[in-house]
């Protein structure tokens, strides 16, 4: 994000400064050999890496287009800096190539043990649910069976979820026993507190995704108002601002659709984990009570018949 802010400020400074005041600089770039190596060993690109290359590509696009436009128009007051032009022409295609590499998934990945391919795919494939297309196409050709299903991810298994919840639940019971009298055999604990402690990160992420989607929905009316003001005869704004306002009419709606899809997916995932936690806890308590009942029944039979 720091590199993007610096690159964007540098690009805007180049656009709004005079030609004689332009200085030479080398846009930042990373070695895309690391991305290719990660794809080779089934290591998917993370969200910060993809976001970095996306924002860096957008930030340097202004400077790249400005230099090409000045070269094509051949303005007399444009002082050509050979090093600046060469550095920009070489660095920006490399940045775009690295962005494309961070978007691609590993095509050599094989589902050998019926593993869920989600965590092996790129970040763009995860947010667009492209990793699910293989199962959809298989279900379109033939009816799906149980053998066609992928195994659950380790973080979604009941064993992992219950162990995580049970650690918090046990700590809460111990603190409750220490704060009250030791002679008391029954302790009343609200189950909502350990559930919130166990899934607070997931719930916070879901809330943030939904909040961003709601905020983006207000951008289209604002862009429409600015576009109407731009089309008035008395407006003297440059033409590129009109194109910018027009793009704001549909680009935020695209992101709203992406965020709403992620919200529905994540809220159902959290609901499934909470449901698995409650069912496991109730089953564990029922098993404990059944054991006590069987012990009392055996003791009753021993006393009654002997």
Range of the domain at 291: 154-306
Alpha carbons 283 and 188: distance in angstroms, whole number: 18
Would residue 28 count as lying in a domain?
no
Alpha carbons 250 and 245: distance in angstroms, whole number: 10
Would residue 241 count as lying in a domain?
yes
Decide if pLDDT at 6 tops 50: no
Residue 19 confidence class, pLDDT cut points 50, 70, 90: very low
Would residue 100 count as lying in a domain?
no
Residues 25-48: tens digit of each pLDDT:
333 334 445 555 555 555 566 777
Residues 153-212: tens digit of each pLDDT:
888 888 899 889 989 888 888 887 777 665 556 667 788 888 999 999 999 999 999 999
Decide if pLDDT at 242 tops 50: yes
What is the domain count for the chain?
1
Would residue 14 count as lying in a domain?
no
Would residue 141 count as lying in a domain?
no
DSSP readout, 238-275?
Answer: -HHHHHHHHHTTTHHHHHHHHHHHHHHHHHHHHHHHHH
Residue 45, judged by CB atoms within 10 A of its CB (0-12, 13-18, 19+), counts as buried
Of 252, 259, 260, which Cα lies nearest the Cα of 217? 252
Q: pTM of this prediction?
A: 0.70
Residues 47-91: tens digit of each pLDDT:
777 888 888 888 888 888 888 877 777 654 555 667 777 887 888
Would residue 18 count as lying in a domain?
no
pLDDT of amino acid 210? 94
pLDDT higher at 287 or 128: 128
Would residue 35 count as lying in a domain?
no
Residues 81-104: tens digit of each pLDDT:
677 778 878 888 888 888 888 777
Q: What's 46's DSSP letter? A: P
Of 220, 228, 229, which Cα lies nearest the Cα of 247? 220
Would residue 181 count as lying in a domain?
yes
Q: How far is CA 236 from CA 66, 114, 214, 242, in A?
A: 21, 61, 32, 11
């Amino acid at each position: 994000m720091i590199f993007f802010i610096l690159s964007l400020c540098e690009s805007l400074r180049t656009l709004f400064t005079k030609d004689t005041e332009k200085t030479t600089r080398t846009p930042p770039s990373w070695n895309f050999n690391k991305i290719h190596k990660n794809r080779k060993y089934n290591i998917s690109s993370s969200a910060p890496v993809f976001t970095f290359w996306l924002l860096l590509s957008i930030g340097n696009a202004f400077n790249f287009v400005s230099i090409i436009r000045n070269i094509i128009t051949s303005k007399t007051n444009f002082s050509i800096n050979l090093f600046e032009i060469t550095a920009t022409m070489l660095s920006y295609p490399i940045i775009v190539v690295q962005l494309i590499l961070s978007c691609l998934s590993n095509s050599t990945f094989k589902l050998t043990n019926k593993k869920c391919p989600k965590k092996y795919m790129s970040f763009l494939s995860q947010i667009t649910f492209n990793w699910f297309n293989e199962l959809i196409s298989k279900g379109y050709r033939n009816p799906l069976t149980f053998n066609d299903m992928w195994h659950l991810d380790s973080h979604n298994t009941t064993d992992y979820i219950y162990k995580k919840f049970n650690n918090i639940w046990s700590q809460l019971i111990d603190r409750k026993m220490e704060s009250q009298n030791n002679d008391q055999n029954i302790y009343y604990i609200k189950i909502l507190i350990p559930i919130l402690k166990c899934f607070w990160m997931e719930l916070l992420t879901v809330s943030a995704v939904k909040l961003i989607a709601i905020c983006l929905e207000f951008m289209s009316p604002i862009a429409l108002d600015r576009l109407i003001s731009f089309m008035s005869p008395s407006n003297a704004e440059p033409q590129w601002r009109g194109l910018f306002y027009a793009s704001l009419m549909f680009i935020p709606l695209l992101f709203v659709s992406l965020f709403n899809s992620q919200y529905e997916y994540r809220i159902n995932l959290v609901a499934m984990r909470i449901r698995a936690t409650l069912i496991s806890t109730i089953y564990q308590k029922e098993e404990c009570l059944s054991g006590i009942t069987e012990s009392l029944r055996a003791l009753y039979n021993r006393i009654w018949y002997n």
